[in-house]
Structures are given as C-alpha cells and as structure tokens.
Amino acid sequence: MKDKIWFKRIFNFAAADNDYQNSLDRIRHTPERLGTLLAEIPEQYHDVQHLQKWSIKEHIGHLWDLEPLWLGRIRDIMENKQEMRAADLENKKTHETNHNDHSAECLLNRFSDNRQLLLNELDSLLESDILRSSLHPRLKKPMRIRDLVYFVAEHDDHHLDSIQGLHSVLDDRSNL
C-alpha cells in the first residue's frame, strides 16, 4: 500500500483557478462513492488495521469528524476572519473515538448527514462569496471558499484512496 502523507501535500491556490463546480460535485458525491467502495469490501476487513494505521471504519469516522471543521471554516471566511480555525493536527478525535465500535454503515450515514449540512451551506452562497478568503492556519496561504472546497475534495479522495489501498493489502494478505 502506497503511503501518502496528507500533511506533506503542497497546494498552490493562486496558480490556477480551481474548477469550483467540479470540486463541489466531488464532495457532493463522496458519500455515494464511499458507499460503493464499502459494498466491494468484505465486512471482516472494516475494522482491521495494517501497519498501525487506521482501519476502514476509522477513515470513515475521520471524514465524519472533520465535517464541523469544514463548515466552520466556511463560516470563518464569511465572517471575514483573518485566519480560519485550525484543525487538530494530531487527529485526537479520530484516535480517541472508537469508530471501530460502530458499523461502517452507521459511520457512513453520520458522515453523509453532516456532509449534507456542508453542502446546504455551500448551496446558499452567492457566486461572489466563493471568492472570499481567509488565511489557512497550517498552510499560511490565503484560501478562498472555492479553494477550500477543492481542499475538501482532495482530502476526501485521499481517504478513499487509503481505504482502497487498505482493501487491496488485506485482500492480498487473505489470498496467501
């Protein structure tokens, strides 16, 4: 499984105008894509960790854990805050919440419900609002709402890729 470290990703929002509608569609369909992926993965793999990394359920739980952050950051930008709220870079909530105690379906439903709140907020914005910006606390770069949506889409895909990679490793391991 290829290990991709999220915090090492480099984003250059000024270099190109992100395709906002594409990014919005990507985050809108993440719960569906996640559900399709889960349907392909045997349930006995859902809470298995590999190399002391998160299980499939923990990845889903992490996506759910971050929904309030994304929504809060949109509100920070709309309230003209100089800097957006910071993420917990240690992911304490994901580590401390035992997502493996819940079914993947339950976690997916929670994530999907919270994602809809984010989408409702985004759908209520004016076209000019998506160009408003605030400083991202870790990247130390201005981030427009359109950039934030791209960032969330990339983060979603990072975890979907991680789940797919974990599935492949566990499948290979079971075929030995």
In SS3 terms, the chain reads as CCCCCHHHCCCCCCCCCCCHHHHHHHHHCHHHHHHHHHHCCCHHHCCCCCCCCCCHHHHHHHHHHHHHHHHHHHHHHHCCCCECCCCCCCCHHHHHCCHHHCCHHHHHHHHHHHHHHHHHHHHCCCHHHHHCEEECCCCCCEEEHHHHHHHHHHHHHHHHHHHHHHHHHHHHHHCC
Confidence of residue 105 (pLDDT cuts 50, 70, 90): very high
Tens of pLDDT along 66-101? 999 999 999 999 999 999 999 998 889 998 999 999
Q: What is the pLDDT of residue 1?
A: 38
Return the CATH architecture of domain 21-38+55-174.
Answer: Up-down Bundle (1.20)
Q: What average pLDDT does range 122-134 have in this prediction?
A: 96
Torsion of CA 124, 128, 134, 139, to 10 degrees: 90
Choice between 172 and 131, residue whose per-residue pLDDT is larger: 131
Confidence of residue 2 (pLDDT cuts 50, 70, 90): very low
Q: What is the pLDDT of residue 15?
A: 54
Tens of pLDDT along 111-120? 999 999 999 9
Torsion of CA 157, 161, 164, 169, to 10 degrees: -160
Q: What is the pLDDT of residue 147?
A: 94
Cα–Cα distance for residue pair 91/167, rounded to 1 Å: 22
**Cβ 159 vs Cβ 115: under 8 Å:** no
Confidence of residue 11 (pLDDT cuts 50, 70, 90): confident
Cα–Cα distance for residue pair 143/65, rounded to 1 Å: 21
Q: What is the pLDDT of residue 3?
A: 45
Tens of pLDDT along 31-50? 999 999 999 999 999 999 98
Confidence of residue 127 (pLDDT cuts 50, 70, 90): very high
Residue 12 has pLDDT above 80, yes or no: no
Name residues whose C-beta falls within 8 Å of residue 75's C-beta, 6 or more positions apart in sequence.
121
**Cβ 129 vs Cβ 145: under 8 Å:** yes
**Cβ 144 vs Cβ 127: under 8 Å:** no
